Structure 1
Amino acid sequence: MNKAAFTKSHHESFMWLRPWMDENSQLLSGFTTKNGGISEPPFTSFNLGLHVHDNKEHVILNRKLLANHLNMPLSNWVCAEQVHNSVVQKVTRKQSGKGMHAYEDGIAQTDGIYTNESNVLLALCYADCVPLYFYAPNHHMVGLAHAGWQGTVKDIAGEMIRKWVQEEQIPVEDIYAAVGPAIESCCYIVDDRVISAVNEVASSADVYVQISPNQYRLDLKKLNVYLMKKAGVNEANIIVSSHCTSCEDDLFFSHRRDQGKTGRMFSFIGFKED
């Protein structure tokens, strides 16, 4: 698996998912940082989340700044509500603009979205949870999923893959996936309740280490890769970011590090027409 997936752009506010983009000039795919915006503490400064009690006008202006950098207007973006479940939905141009100016207008009760239409840019919010990217270049299909520990153990990664295989008739060998910047095991300690849920879906996976009674270091990135492979994706088709959102406080918001008072980054992916 390629560990050098996300590279800094010319602008401090986001990084590109380069390996895929280099192969397809129409693809926009990346992950934002916390820098380059106008939000004030504790959301300094490029907060893109409308649900964290930041000034709404600041968030929307930050979103417009990103849209301008990517030359993709907000009217072409689609967001989802993100409720830590495993629901995956296909979106079309009819849903363009959803969730971009009001959180409650996003795709409801959904943590995974995908599309095969151009000029629809998918976007989801993060501050430690795992961004999952999906790409089937031969079928003009892209997708995003939000995988906190709950979405991960509910197998949202596998749900996206099964949707593509069963409903979109995409051969699993044609599916590529990427795991974006997220909290890593160095900073992510969980309890028996979480590990019990992990064991139900991945009892044979080496994804956590016990450090004391009722305390474990959990590798959510590795767990999602395990579930992608279990769903049939070739390991050679999976890219994993080496960035830890909690460690790298100069780049990323972190819900755990910042004790819940923090902003949100965007993952984004979509095809842009010439």
Structure 2
Amino acid sequence: MKTKIYVNNEKWVAGITIKDEAELENNNMALHACKNPADVLENRRKLANFLDCRLDDFVCGQQTHSANFYQVTYADKGRGADSVNTAIPDTDALYTYEPNVLLCSFNADCVPVMFYHERSGIVGVIHSGWQGTVKEISLKLFHHLIQGEQCHPNDFHVQVGPAISQEKFEVDEDVYLKYNTLGYADDWIVYNGETDKYHIDNQQVVKKQCRLAGIPEEHITIDSTCTYKSPDGFSYREDKKSGRHLCFVMKKK
């Protein structure tokens, strides 16, 4: 089971599954983008065994490139674990106070964000493709946690996971204008006059949103692996039938 672990101690575990030709469907973890759901479920069970938890500890959302977030409780355990029909609808970010709940996000080029809050014990995942980024999903969730849940920003620790690189994230003017309208993304946008295309570093824009929420720079880490270029990456832009990584975080007891 190829998995990249970013944190694993007595309090938290966070990481992302890796594309692996030795596994079923190359270790695809997404029921909404697969050839055989039974193979994906087998991959998820292997991940559960690796993390010393159960499949029914997983909680998944039906990702729609929204800016919607959802607080997960024990009553939600198992939602989306073995069927897309039971996943939390129209939700691209999940957070919880509960221990032993594995929050899941699925990614193939979009920016995955995993985080935990030292004092409150909150953990969360965010799925931020370009649409989620221009809708400011990360900024909105962190504002909610800081203002609504009274989480001090200095206690957040954020991991930005693998995503498509600026080199490979090539867009037309309509997408560029959405980023430009944010007012803080231009430092990570490059225009190519030969192709009349714009190249955007979505990871850095997401990091900027975390910083705008008040999270300290030193508490934000970026995995710069490009999902398009890396053999370990699933890339929707490279292959429209691509599988998905599973990005996860769990608070331990």
TM range (shorter): over 0.9
Query: Cα 1:205–1:173, aligned 2, differ >3 Å: closer, same or farther?
Result: farther
> Could you list the per-position Cα deviations for residues 199-233 of structure 1 after superposition, in whole angstroms to 9, with x for gaps in the alignment?
11134640110012640111000111111111211
1:185 — aligned with what?
Answer: 166
Amino acid at match of 2:158: A
Contact 1:48 1:265 (8 Å CA) reproduced: yes
Q: CA deviation at 1:139?
A: 1.1
Q: CA deviation at 1:30?
A: 0.2
Amino acid at match of 1:242: S
Contact 2:68 2:91 (8 Å CA) reproduced: yes
Contact 1:182 1:243 (8 Å CA) reproduced: yes
1:162 — aligned with what?
Answer: 143
Q: How many residues align?
A: 252
Q: Structure 2 matches for 1:117-136, cutoff 5 A?
A: 117-136=98-117
Query: Cα 1:193–1:142, aligned 2, differ >3 Å: closer, same or farther?
Result: same
Contact 1:37 1:47 (8 Å CA) reproduced: no
Query: Cα 1:233–1:14, aligned 2, differ >3 Å: closer, same or farther?
Result: same
1:32 — aligned with what?
Answer: 17
1:230 — aligned with what?
Answer: 212
1:70 — aligned with what?
Answer: 51
Equivalent of 1:218, from 167, 187, 200? 200
Q: CA deviation at 1:53?
A: 3.7
Q: CA deviation at 1:177?
A: 1.4
Equivalent of 2:130, from 144, 149, 170? 149
Gaps of 5+ in 1: 1-10
Contact 1:131 1:179 (8 Å CA) reproduced: yes
Q: Structure 2 matches for 1:230-249, cutoff 5 A?
A: 230-249=212-231
Amino acid at match of 1:269: V
1:85 — aligned with what?
Answer: 66
Q: CA RMSD in A?
A: 1.4
2:242 — aligned with what?
Answer: 262
What's the TM-score once normalised by structure 2's chain length? 0.95
2:177 — aligned with what?
Answer: 196
Identity of aligned residues (%): 34
What's the TM-score once normalised by structure 1's chain length? 0.88
Partner SS for 1:146: strand
2:234 — aligned with what?
Answer: 253
Gaps of 5+ in 2: none
